[in-house]
Amino acid sequence: MKDEARDLKVYQLHAELCGALAHPLRLQILNLLRGGEESVKELLMETGVSKANLSQHLTVLRKQKIISSRREGVNIFYRLTKPKMIRACDIIREVLFEQLAEGNEILRKYGR
């Protein structure tokens, strides 16, 4: 595979991974899993969404191998496959807060 074709494939995979994170509920789920494994029941209580809605979002994250699951009796538990994902999300969140602060500074400076 030529370098350009390989680069394009990596960009495609990168975009797919970022797409899996492109929903507030999925980011909330990752944040909830930051501390370790959580059951579906716990995730339902903490997010306040329906079981069907949670299931759809868990499926998106699982397909991208961002999370994995295990069954224990009737309970299903989820965990992060790569804790580095939390670091990546934290960096993006820092950038977001910096942008918001810069925007507020501009608004204060020009009185809007």
Per-position pLDDT tens, the chain of length 112:
578 888 899 999 999 999 999 999 999 999 999 999 999 999 999 999 999 999 999 999 999 999 999 999 999 999 999 999 999 999 999 998 898 888 877 667 776 5
- Break the chain down into helix, strand, coil percent, rounded to 5: 70, 10, 20
For residue 108, the Cα-to-chain-centroid distance in whole angstroms is: 32
Contacts of 51 (CB under 8 A, 6+ apart): 40, 44
Q: Name which of 24, 23, 38, 22 is nearest 80 in CA terms.
A: 38
Measure the CA–CA gap between 100 and 92, rounded to whole angstroms. Answer: 12
Q: Please, what are the domains in the chain?
A: 3-81 (1.10.10.10)
